[in-house]
Amino acid sequence: MQRRSLLLGVTGALAVSHIARADDYPSRPVTMIVPYGPGGGVSINARALQPYYEKTLGTRVIVENREGAGGITGYTVGAFAKPDGYTITMVSPAITASPWLVPNVRFTPDDYAFIGQVSFVPNMLVVNADSAFKTLKDLVDAMKAKPGEISTGIEASWPSSSVCGALFLALSGAKAKVVPGFKGGAEKIASVLGAHLDFSVNNTQEVMPLYQAKRIRVLAMAAPERSAFFPEVPTFRELGYDVTTGVWRSIAVPKATPQPVQDKLAAALKQAMADPALKQDFAKVELTVDYLDPAATRAAVMAEYAEFDKLFTQLGMNIKHKA
């Protein structure tokens, strides 16, 4: 009886200690992992959010670029970090695509708890401003005339831009030379500028500065309708291809993170996203505020994960459904 009381006392003390730590959260800086290099869309988004999240969370938020394996390194670190709320990750569609496409990926979206969605950005297909391809039809015709000679690139983690490119190629019936192993969108678009790739699929933040400088040409956008940022650019749908993939970005933590800590992170994110000044700063880097709460974010992510399972199986790309 005495031993049982002692055990209960220890268990209770541990529980109180755990609650106290949650009540004290955050008591030190929080690290936000970005699984890609500086200059890419996810990094731009994270740094635009950073000062507002610091203000509402009440502590420093340190953006840490943890690139490697096309994003898989950072996503793995984020999923299996210590679940104390001091390591958060800005996640994107790579977490719903790469488990179906890349061997030995350790995580799935279910290894994360979702704090909230921050933004949604459509993908677009781009070529060098000096390219001979003036329209998407020009590009498709060239790929069909020279199968496997026109080059594009993909990241190892298969973010939404790579998925967009694969879906477009499948629907067009054209064959490109697909160069693997890119670390992120910034590296891909740099290869287009250097004439090492003939075309690339990138997101708005990666495209806009180069587009404004007239260094690249945008041939199509993977959005349901034309963008106010690119009013003259046709959508893939307008051109006969049902491609509407884009990049959502959300804040996530390891699944075992205590619920009170998740709640604090979520409340601070919601407050930050409601700041009118954040909306203005997002617009400066071609971002819109597309906030979703934790439950809606998780539902959207898990629905996409299931949809990608079906899509990649239909395209013959799903490694989990190959003999």
Q: Is the pLDDT of residue 317 over 90?
A: no
Overall average pLDDT of the 50-66 stretch: 98
pLDDT of residue 17: 43
With the C-alpha atoms ordered 175, 180, 184, 188, is the resulting torsion angle positive or negative?
negative
Q: Work out the number of other CB atoms within 10 angstroms of the CB of residue 250.
A: 27
Query: Could you read off the pLDDT of 84-118 as tens digits, one per residue?
Result: 999 999 999 999 999 999 999 999 999 999 999 99
**Residue 61, SS3 per DSSP:** strand
Q: What is the pLDDT of residue 272?
A: 98
Q: Is pLDDT of 20 > 80?
A: no
The reported pLDDT for the residue numbered 19 is: 45
pLDDT of residue 108: 97
At 215-251, the pLDDT tens digits run: 999 999 998 888 888 899 999 999 999 998 888 999 9
CA–CA separation, 72 and 102 (whole Å): 9
| Among 127, 119, 71, CA closest to 99 | 71
Residue 257's φ and ψ, nearest 5 degrees, are -60, 130
Structural domains of the chain, with CATH: 2-117+249-289 (3.40.190.150)
Mean pLDDT, to the nearest integer, of 151-174? 90
Q: Which residue has the higher pLDDT, 186 or 144?
A: 144
- Can you give the pLDDT at residue 16? 45
Model confidence at 41, pLDDT cuts 50, 70, 90, reads confident
Q: Which residue has the higher pLDDT, 13 or 305?
A: 305
Question: What average pLDDT does the chain have?
Answer: 91
pLDDT (tens digit, 9 = 90+) per residue, 294-313? 999 999 999 999 989 998 89
CA distance 57 to 272: 9
